[in-house]
């Protein structure tokens, strides 16, 4: 039985949220379409190379009934890579390699090597993937090395609530958030969603919280406020106060 790795954090992934907005679907619907698509890729194109598939076929295998060209266009913004005239599933080996290793561990080892080579990873990363090691630790190290001042600068470029500096309290909270992958990966999306929400901008205050706005301190103050934004809790919200 074929299988791929599926993480519980997928429902909060910024790519899922972006696709949902572009296709006017619920995130859970996007997750369903993608899993059907990935399952069919593994059954029919185990190397993740879908170059031979038309847009209609891709939409069909995902059981997406809307415009197939739009569907594929959206997927090509982060989930389907174009390389050397080919269309490859983005990070396919991150999700399919454990199954492929179990399938070819005793025979056709050259087949596995051929699949891995198709993605043209760097030597170190390829070595990790070949033995099935997860590279999350490497990714996390990159996240935590981003200077806190970078977030202050990006915030001030985009947001109406400017930050004059980082107090010790802010540095403590921000460092805690920087160590959380969902915060780091979705920081720009968080700012976009705040700007798109009159409630979060403080333009639609509630009676209980007349002065509320999603400023920087509120965003980084704990590990739940920003997740509520990503999950759509405040999308088009008009009157309810934050919890």
Residue 145 pLDDT: 53
Q: Do strands 86-89 and 80-83 pair parallel, antiparallel, or not at all (unpaired)?
A: antiparallel
Ramachandran bin of 220, using left for φ above 0, alpha for ψ from -120 to 50, beta for the remaining angles: alpha
0.75 exceeded by pTM: no
120: confidence class by pLDDT, cuts 50, 70, 90: low
Nearest-angstrom CA–CA distance, 4 and 54: 23
In the predicted model, what is the mean pLDDT of the chain?
83
The 10s digit of each residue's pLDDT in 192-236 is 999 988 889 888 777 777 788 999 999 999 989 999 888 888 876
Q: Which residue has the higher pLDDT, 116 or 26?
A: 26
Query: What is the pLDDT averaged over residues 117-126?
Result: 52
Residue 6 pLDDT: 87
Which residues sit opposite 37 in a β-bridge?
none
Instruction: Report whether 60 contacts 33 (CB < 8 A).
Output: no
109: confidence class by pLDDT, cuts 50, 70, 90: confident
Residue 2 pLDDT: 84
Helix, strand, or coil (residue 88):
strand
Which helix (H) or strand (E) element contains residue 141? helix 136-144
Residue 236 pLDDT: 64
The 10s digit of each residue's pLDDT in 68-106 is 999 999 999 889 998 778 899 998 988 898 888 888 877
Handedness of CA 33, 36, 39, 45 (dihedral sign): negative
Instruction: Report whether 34 contacts 79 (CB < 8 A).
Output: yes
The 10s digit of each residue's pLDDT in 35-66 is 999 999 999 999 999 999 999 999 999 999 99
Nearest-angstrom CA–CA distance, 27 and 43: 24
Query: What is the pLDDT averaged over residues 125-134?
Result: 36
The 10s digit of each residue's pLDDT in 153-198 is 899 999 998 999 989 999 999 999 988 888 988 898 999 999 988 8
Which residues sit opposite 86 in a β-bridge?
83
The yes-or-no verdict on residue 141 having pLDDT over 50 is no
DSSP-derived letter for residue 131 is T
Structure token pair of residue 217: 């301190």
How many distinct helices (H) and strands (E) make up the chain? Answer: 14, 2
Nearest-angstrom CA–CA distance, 171 and 165: 10
The yes-or-no verdict on residue 142 having pLDDT over 50 is no
Helix, strand, or coil (residue 222):
coil
Task: At 88, give phi and psi (nearest 5°).
Answer: -120, 145
């Amino acid at each position: 039985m074929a299988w791929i790795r599926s993480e519980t954090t997928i429902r909060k992934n910024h790519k899922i949220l972006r696709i949902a907005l572009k296709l006017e679907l619920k995130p859970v619907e996007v997750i369903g379409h993608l899993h059907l698509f990935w399952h069919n890729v593994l059954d029919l194109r185990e190397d993740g190379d879908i170059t031979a598939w038309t847009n209609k076929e891709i939409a069909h295998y995902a059981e997406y009934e809307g415009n197939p060209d739009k569907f594929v266009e959206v997927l090509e913004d982060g989930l389907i890579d174009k390389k050397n005239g080919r269309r490859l599933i983005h990070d396919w080996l991150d999700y399919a390699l454990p199954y492929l290793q179990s399938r070819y561990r005793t025979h056709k080892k050259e087949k596995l090597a051929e699949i891995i080579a198709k993605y043209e990873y760097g030597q170190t990363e390829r070595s990790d993937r070949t033995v099935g090691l997860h590279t999350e630790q490497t990714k996390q190290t990159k996240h935590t090395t981003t200077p806190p001042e970078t977030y202050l600068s990006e915030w001030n470029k985009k947001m109406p609530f400017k930050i004059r500096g980082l107090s010790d309290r802010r540095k403590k909270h921000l460092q805690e958030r920087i160590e959380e992958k969902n915060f780091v990966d979705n920081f720009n999306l968080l700012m976009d969603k705040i700007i798109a929400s009159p409630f979060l901008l403080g333009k639609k205050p509630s009676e209980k919280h007349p002065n509320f706005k999603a400023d920087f301190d509120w965003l980084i103050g704990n590990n739940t406020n920003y997740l509520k934004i990503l999950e759509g809790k405040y999308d088009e919200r008009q009157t309810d106060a934050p919890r």
